Amino acid sequence: MEPVEKDASQPPASDFQADTSHKRKALEEGMVELAAGLRSAAFYGLNHAVTRQHLEQAANGMAAATHDGPCQIHVAEDHCVFDRFPLCDGNAAVAVAAEELRARGIGEVVIEPGVSLFDWDGLVATLLMEVQALQLLGGPQQALERQGAKHIVLEVPLPEEEREHHREALAIYQDAIDTVKRAMSAVQEGAQVDAVAVRTIVEEMLSSVLYDRSALLSLAAIKSWDEYVYEHSVGTCIIGMVFACTLGMSEAQILDLGMAAILHDIGKIFVPLEIVRKPGPLTEDEWSIMQTHPVIGARILGTTPGIPEVAAVTAFEHHIKHNYSGYPRVSKQTPLHMYSHILTIVDCYDAITTVRPYRSPIRPNQAAGWMLYVAPEQFEPRLLARFGHLLQAPPIGAVVRLNTNEWGIVMSASERDLSRPVVRLVLDEEGQTVLRGRMVDLAERDTHGGHTRSIAEYLQPVHQIATVASILTR
């Protein structure tokens, strides 16, 4: 028998095993510290000294593990796996971290060389977000990138059918961006908008939303400042159609709303780009120019064959606001179209959750809190309440059950955290009426850094009157 030639390109088996063992040990040390840092951040906050210590140790361990290449950690049930071996098997903190990953649909974490403490801060901040907020931000990976992390990749495994739908949704989204670009370019050159092309792409987006709204919603949350005008138009269209679906509107109505939404800002093509992209507040003269775009847009759409008449109406009205405090100025006796009320809400939400050169984007639950508690008079109240329900944020006056089993009524915004309102208690944890309705701020934290109270559920408006009445008649 001839001797088997050794492959000189591969290290000896013992060296390879030692290398893998060394990497696994560094990963385990890093995972233990990361899990402890996640637990500490949930209790005390990301900037607490204990949290910082754990995350610094995690960063050191993970940097050592990825010195010679990326590491892939698979998330399986309540543990993490590297090179077919469970990491930190039996460690309760790591098991909790794995559960947090799985709860967000994350099946694999890829750690790349160059990973730093900044990346781990971003990962922990992402894992502390609510699942609904992650979806509206575009998913775990997009949320992580928004935190500034560059050396960690979060993979969300999907069945082949869903992967195919996501690929199709991505193609539709890009086509929609291109359609808006072509429409605006045509108008700038004195030509007309291709109404057939706009209707076709909105029909495709509507079909995608009706099949599975999450794919396009995720894409709508990804925005770049350079493409802001186009992406804002498409994002407003997607979120508007998803919202319209929850309102029980017919497909024909949603299609008209979608066409109005995707073209609602077309008048901005005649606003100088340096004003549209200005990294800061506008001057009085610049603001006057910006305020012309609804009138210009309405004029363009009102004279374009094949565009629904309502598109011109909503282009004109989407900045007027429910309390008529916006622009253009019109008589308060002039009723606004329902589609305009919908687009006012969706346009504002998409705008304030978008990154700007002079500020960070507001998180979805923070945006909902601002709209519901700080400036509710700007929006049609019934539609705003329904939109808040879509974002799992109760409006002022909503009846809520807290995690302490107490019941209360949402009264106002908390000055500490827009996403956590002030609630007037009406029933204690025993179901007894609370005399004089004590006010509690849901942003308050306990001695461990966690929130003292949180909203467990809130009743839809149809059930609230009966509930309040039954409490008051006790």
DSSP bridge partners of 87: 80
Across the strands, what pairs with 155? 108
Dihedral sign for Cα 437, 443, 445, 450, please. Answer: positive
pLDDT over 60 at 449, yes or no: yes
Give dist(CA 261, CA 250) in Å, integer: 16
Do residues 341 and 383 lie in contact, with contact meaning Cβ atoms separated by under 8 Å? yes
Residue extents of the structural domains in the chain: 13-155, 160-361, 394-472
| Number of Cβ atoms within 10 Å of the Cβ of 214 | 16
Q: Is the dihedral of CA 226, 188, 278, 376 positive or negative?
A: negative
Q: What is 4-36 written as a DSSP string?
A: PPP-TTS--HHHHHHHHHHHHHHHHHHHHHHHH
The letter for the amino acid at 149 is A
Two structure tokens written together for 18? 């030692």
Classify residue 182 as exposed, middle or buried by CB count within 10 Å of its CB (0-12, 13-18, 19+): middle
pLDDT in tens, 136-145: 666 788 778 8
Which pLDDT belongs to residue 10?
41
User: What pLDDT sits at residue 6?
Assistant: 41
Cis, peptide link before residue 395, omega less than 30° from 0: no
Fold category of 160-361 in CATH: Hypothetical protein af1432 (1.10.3210)
| 458 has a pLDDT exceeding 50 | yes
Q: Are 219 and 170 in contact (CB under 8 A)?
A: yes
pLDDT tier, 7 (very low <50, low <70, confident <90, very high otherwise)? very low
Let me know if 409 is exposed, middle or buried by CB neighbors in 10 A (0-12, 13-18, 19+). Answer: buried
Instruction: Indicate the SS3 state at residue 153.
Output: strand
Q: From CA 439, how far away is CA 404, in angstroms rounded?
A: 15
Distance CA 217, CA 262 (A): 15
Q: What is the pLDDT of residue 20?
A: 60
Q: Looking at residue 5, what is its pLDDT? A: 43
Give the C-alpha separation, 435 to 456, whole Å.
22
Reported confidence tier of residue 467, pLDDT bands at 50, 70, 90:
low
Give the torsion sign (CA, 269, 243, 360, 166).
negative
- Token pair 């543990």 is found at 79
**What type of residue sits at position 421?**
P
| CA 321 – CA 301 distance, rounded (Å) | 20
Tokens of 175: 């086509």
Q: How far is CA 429 from each of CA 298, 437, 459, 468, rounded to the nearest angstrom? A: 54, 14, 17, 16
Averaged over 389-412, what is the pLDDT? 86
Token code pair at residue 8: 């000189």
pLDDT tens by residue, 196-234: 999 999 999 999 988 877 777 777 776 665 577 899 999
94 vs 444: CA distance, rounded Å? 28
Identify the band that residue 356 occupies on the pLDDT scale cut at 50, 70 and 90.
low
Give the whole-number percent of the chain exceeding pLDDT 70: 86
| Average pLDDT of the chain to the nearest whole number | 83
Identify the H or E element spanning 424. strand 422-427
Determine the Cα–Cα distance for residues 88 and 94; give it in Å rounded to an integer. 7
Handedness of CA 71, 76, 80, 86 (dihedral sign): negative
The residue type at 263 = L
pLDDT 10s digits, 151-191: 999 987 766 676 677 788 889 999 999 999 999 999 999 99
Tokens at 83, concatenated: 């090179």
Q: Is 154 left (phi over 0), alpha (psi -120 to 50) or beta?
A: beta
* CATH class of this structure's domain 394-472: mainly beta
Q: Is the pLDDT of residue 265 over 80?
A: yes
Check pLDDT > 90 for residue 297. yes
Say what the pLDDT of residue 8 is. 41
d(CA 426, CA 467): 11
Give the global pTM: 0.68
Residue 207: its pLDDT value, please? 93
pLDDT of 52-68, one tens digit each? 899 999 888 888 888 88
Neighbours of 157 (CB within 10 A): 12
Among 29-43, 55-69, 76-90, 285-299, which range has the highest average pLDDT?
A: 285-299
Quick one: which of 261, 262, 288, 266 has its CA closest to 275?
288
